[in-house]
Amino acid sequence: MESNAPEHFKSGFVTLVGRPNAGKSTLINAIMGKKVAITSDTAQTTRHRFRAVLTRDDFQLILVDTPGLHKPHDALGEELNTSALKALEDVDVTAMLIDASQPIGRGDEWVAEQLKRVRSKKICVLSKVDLATPKQIEAQREAAERLGSWDAMVGLSSATGKNVEAFVEEVVFLLPEGPSWFPADMETDQPIDVVVSEFIREKILRSFHDEVPHAIGVRVEEMEYDKKKDLHRIFAVVYVERDSQKGIIIGKKGAAIKQIGTEARADLEQLLGTRVYLDLSVKVKKNWRRDAAQIRRFGYGEGA
Ligand X SMILES: Nc1nc2c(ncn2[C@@H]2O[C@H](COP(=O)(O)OP(=O)(O)OP(=O)(O)O)[C@@H](O)[C@H]2O)c(=O)[nH]1
- Stretch 27-66: interaction string toward Mg ion, x if CB under 5 A: ------------------xx--------------------
Measured from the CB of residue 164, what is the shortest distance to Mg ion in angstroms? 16
Q: Interior CA angle at 88 toward 83 and 91, to 5°?
A: 130
Judged by beta carbon, residue 24 or residue 232, the one nearer Mg ion is 24
Residue range at the interface with ligand X (CB under 6 A); choices 16-24, 88-96, 277-285, 294-302: 16-24
158 binds, among ligand X, Mg ion, none (CB under 5 to 8 A by kind): ligand X
Give the strand pairing for 50-55 and 217-226.
unpaired
Instruction: Kindly state whether residue 158 participates in binding Mg ion, applying the rule CB under 5 A.
Output: no
Q: Over the range 57-92, which residues count as b (16 or more CB within 10 Å of their CB) and which as e?
A: eebbbbbbbbbbbbeeeebbbebbbebbbebbeebb
What one-character DSSP code corresponds to residue 128? -
Closest CA to 225 of 238, 214, 234: 234
Distance CA 30, CA 35 (A): 8
Question: Could you tell me how many residues of this chain bind Mg ion (CB under 5 A)?
Answer: 4
Assign residue 87 a region (left: φ > 0; alpha: ψ between -120 and 50; beta: otherwise).
alpha
Residue range at the interface with ligand X (CB under 6 A); choices 13-21, 171-179, 193-201, 257-265: 13-21
127 binds, among Mg ion, ligand X, none (CB under 5 to 8 A by kind): ligand X
What one-character DSSP code corresponds to residue 188? B
Instruction: Kindly state whether residue 158 participates in binding ligand X, applying the rule CB under 6 A.
Output: yes
Question: Could you tell me how many residues of this chain bind ligand X (CB under 6 A)?
Answer: 24
Look up residue 89 and give its amino acid.
E
Among 11, 12, 14, 26, binds ligand X (CB under 6 A): 26
Residues contributing to the site for ligand X (CB under 6 A)? 18, 20-26, 39-41, 43-46, 67-68, 127-128, 130-131, 157-159
Residues of this chain that bind Mg ion (CB under 5 A)? 24-25, 45-46
